[in-house]
Amino acid sequence: MEKKLTAIDLFSGCGGFSYGFQQAGFDVILGVDNTKIALETFKANHKGSQTLNLDLHKDSSINEIVEATNKTDVDVIIAGPPCQGFSLTGTRNENDSRNTLFQAVFKLAKELNPKALIIENVPGLLRLYDGKAKNEILRLCEEYGYTCNPKLLFAPDYGVPQIRKRVFFVALKKELGVFEFPESTHSESTYVGCKDAIGDLPDLIHDLGEEKMKYDKKPTSNYQKEMRSGTNFISNHIGTKHTDHVINVISMVPEGGNHKDLPEGVGDSRKFNEAWTRYHSEKPSKTIDTGHRNHFHYKWNRVPSVRENARLQSFPDDFIFLGNKTEQYRQVGNAVPPLLGKVLANQLKQYLLNED
């Protein structure tokens, strides 16, 4: 019988990263975050997992995590520390305390001695502040007896219908070798586009939908079938009531276009890079962020629902988001796509199960 591998998820949010590990057969024993509603979502979707609401700046939090594991052997610590300090979209400050949160991973690794660590973050972490954070992660891996292979992954290359680039540091105990990243499963000609990702969901044109809805169309793509497996209902698919003015502005944006395609004087309240962006049906979506006001459905004159954003992040339809709509959008946008987590987890299993 195959050994059940275990994982802990730090800075878990709602648990997209570790949900992929769960799909790959890992036992996710614990999710740790400092946002209550995200942890409630985590618990609702991770079978038998505990959650801890902790501030990972504090060393006392590490002790609480160690106690919560109750001497269970932990094979992997996965972590997606807050990225605002490294993000190109935020105010960059070298002394932002969030820039050092990755150190919590190593403090915990010192106590639990897992076989592997995975740290995910925005590409900016590699080069900002002369690469200080990257170099410190590599130094700590060496100090704690891990090989480390960082790599930028482009989500569409692995079947995620969303333009999202993130760096993953995968560290293995030295005796297990150096982690080789899995080959991509898709190329530009086979990327999953928005229509193949969300085209089977109810339109929400004449009504805003309900908390729980039945599908009103058959799936037309393999991706839709994959997202629908395990449930007969859709949740978190509630529309947004726009003003006539906003609907009118959206209607002028062509498929795949943005604010640059609007007539002069129209939509002037928002004219930055991502403003008034309409998705293209045949291409992956733009990066899903924590808001929902700048991107629009490829066909309908409205913002995507939480469920549509979740689909574009590769959350299956049986993954339920708790909280109000704003909190749900934030949870989806902050997540690591589960499909990326699953791909990495399946590759990692080859090292952890063949360690002898």
**Residue 302 is encoded by which pair of tokens?**
């409205």
Cα(110)–Cα(34) distance, rounded to whole angstroms? 22
Task: Give residue 227's Cα distance to chain centre.
Answer: 15
- Which phi and psi angles does 343 have, rounded to 5°? -60, -45
Sheet containing 76-79: order of strands: 50-53, 27-33, 6-10, 76-79, 116-121, 165-173, 146-154
**Residue 218 is encoded by which pair of tokens?**
């058959």
Which residues are the active-site residues? 83
Residue whose entry in the numeric block shows the structure tokens 């740790």: 32
Cα(23)–Cα(16) distance, rounded to whole angstroms? 11
**Alpha helices in the chain, H assignment, sequence order:** 16-23, 36-45, 59-69, 103-112, 124-143, 194-198, 222-228, 244-251, 306-312, 325-334, 338-352
The residue count of the chain comes to 356
Cα(259)–Cα(236) distance, rounded to whole angstroms? 28
Cα(153)–Cα(94) distance, rounded to whole angstroms? 25
The residue among 214, 230, 212 whose CA lies nearest residue 315 is: 230
